[in-house]
A = this chain, B = another copy of it.
Amino acid sequence: MAQPAPHHYRLIVSCPDRVGIVSRVSSFIAEQGGSIVEANQHSDLDAGRFFMRYDIQSNALSAEDFRAAFETIAREFDMAWRLSEPARPQRLVIMVSRQSHCLVDLLYRWSSGELDCTIPCVISNHDDLRALVEWYGIAFHHVPVDPADKAPAFAEVERLIEAEDADSIVLARYMQILPPALCQRYMGRVINIHHSFLPSFAGAKPYHQAFERGVKLIGATCHYVTEELDAGPIIEQDIQRVSHCHAPQDLVRLGKDVEKAVLARGLRWHLQDRVLIHGNKTVVFS
């Protein structure tokens, strides 16, 4: 008789640090016949907080049983925790404006199996990228934003996100500021790519700011969206060397490659439950 494929889980835990957490959790998993395929732990000694991510394979345990049984331990250690199942990937809504480089990159990686998610739809305030999105067999929603009254557009955006039962939202150069209520509702689930090495050059036209300042490196920052613009927890950053030879349009061109790479890395980690939020910072088990 064929061996059933093992269940695959990810256990994400954050709790006050104290003696015995690893022992208690790993014993629980061993007792249930689970095997820890990958383990990541971090103790923030100053904050006295402990973070862990376990990649678990098990033939015995169902997700429901795991959650029910683990609840006792979680309460004992005052844990914030979740159990995710790679077999049920996140539902990711992508939001874009007119620029296509990040979208093209994400869709290609998704179609290549690099991003563990389903993409129910792409939402844009312009109609330009419809053909590209539909070529991948993904629904495209054009939701224009009226500068004089943005509320109706964002109501529609929120309705679509809700209707699609989105787990996460990625702003792949969306160029619009989300309303505070939406930021709060999806806290820790909206990822943005900012085209500078934050906290330098927050706000508009960062490459032109960088050009004016004469920096020798430009960068990009992937971060969680919060109500305060460009100030949320940073997931990933990277840079590209530039010189006096580069005009602002060269910075824009070179920056695109950094933006794509940084967003793809940050998003991949987020989708694999490798990013744990810790105040306004992140623990990334990459």
Hey, which bits of chain A sit against chain B, CB under 8 A? 19-20, 22-24, 26-27, 29-30, 33-39, 41-46, 100-101, 104, 108, 112, 114, 135, 197-201, 213-217, 219, 233-239, 243-245, 247, 253, 257, 261, 278, 280-284, 286
CA distance A29 to B19 in the complex (A): 9
Tell me what chain A mostly uses at the interface: helix, strand, loop, or mixed.
Answer: mixed
Q: Which of B39, B219, B278 contacts A217 (CB 8 A)?
A: B219
Q: Which of B23, B45, B234 contacts A216 (CB 8 A)?
A: B234
Q: Which residues of B contact A135 (CB under 8 A)?
A: 135
Q: Which residues of B contact A38 (CB under 8 A)?
A: 41, 43
This chain: how many copies in the complex? 4
Interface contact B33-A22, CB-CB below 8 Å: no
Apart from A26-B26, A45-B247, A198-B213, what 20 extra A-B contacts exist at CB < 8 Å?
A19-B34, A19-B35, A22-B22, A22-B26, A23-B23, A23-B27, A23-B30, A36-B43, A39-B41, A101-B112, A199-B213, A199-B215, A200-B200, A215-B237, A216-B237, A217-B237, A217-B239, A239-B239, A244-B282, A244-B284
